[in-house]
Amino acid sequence: MALLVIIILSIIVVMLDSIKSINRQYSHLFDVLEWTFTILFTLEYILRLISIQKPWRYVFSFLGIIDLLAIIPSYLSIFFSGAQSLLVFRALRFLRVFRIFKLTHFLSEMQFLKTAIVGSLKKISIFMLVVLSLVIILGSVMYLVEGGKNGFDSIPDSIYWAIVTITTVGYGDISPVTSLGKFIASVIMLLGYGIIAVPTGIITTQMALAVRNRKIGHETCSGCGKEGHDHDAVFCKYCGTIL
């Protein structure tokens, strides 16, 4: 819990440090806090390497890389403190925002989302290919209908308009003027609502299957009745009872 609070505080410090007015007033305090967080994260990283049986697997894993990105920018900033390298320094400091991914250490239910995304990847990829083909066709049609006027100067610009419209974003920087163009735009808008619902339904179905396939007894402890265990847990992390 202490580490969770430290991660959240470090992210807040990075965000506040990017505000120029606050940075000018509390620059020294932010530097002290940043190095305090960096030292604590470094100790945690070293302890993880010591405590696990195969440290190299952790180093090159997704969470291991994220943990490394959380501490390395502070050390690299020592070598980029000159005025000429100020832009590089800012870029390195931005990498500290990756600490937000360290929160995944505390999300035992993250496995459901991972399983659902992996199971839905092929279906969503095919669906996105169909959507991409659709916006290319609709963009080309709008280029012909609008006659290269009203912002539809090229097919790529028209495809951009089709993507903005079909996703219901609607920036309004390009809009049709002709009656036929408005009719096609209306069809695309209505089609957009159905397109948004498809990937949501695919992922939801996969998440339901992941819950159904979960081993019985790994959700609620028979000893203390608490929930939130990992999918491959053998013992309760609260009272030690065999699951």
pLDDT attached to residue 43: 92
Burial class (CB in 10 A: 0-12, 13-18, 19+), 68: middle
* DSSP secondary structure code for residue 88 in this structure: H
d(CA 22, CA 30): 10
pLDDT attached to residue 86: 40
Render pLDDT for 56-100 as a digit per residue (tens, 0 to 9).
Answer: 888 888 778 878 877 887 787 777 654 333 444 445 555 656 667
Model pTM above 0.75: no
d(CA 77, CA 118): 37
Domain with CATH 1.20.120.350 in the chain: 2-106
Question: Among residues of the chain, what percentage have pLDDT more than 90?
Answer: 8
Q: Which of the pair, 201 or 102, is modelled with greater confidence?
A: 201
- What is the average per-residue pLDDT within 167-191? 88
Range name among 17-21, 175-179, 187-191 with the lowest pLDDT average: 17-21
Domain with CATH 1.10.287.70 in the chain: 115-212
What confidence tier does 162 reach under pLDDT thresholds 50, 70, 90?
very high
Which CATH number is associated with domain 115-212? 1.10.287.70
The average confidence (pLDDT) of the chain is: 79
pLDDT attached to residue 16: 85
4 contacts: CB under 8 Å, gap ≥ 6: 103, 106
Range name among 74-78, 83-87, 164-168, 206-210 with the lowest pLDDT average: 83-87
Render pLDDT for 12-47 as a digit per residue (tens, 0 to 9).
Answer: 887 888 788 888 888 889 888 888 988 988 998 899
Fold of 2-106: Four Helix Bundle (Hemerythrin (Met), subunit A) (1.20.120)
Asked if residues 142 and 166 have their Cβ atoms less than 8 Å apart, the reply is no
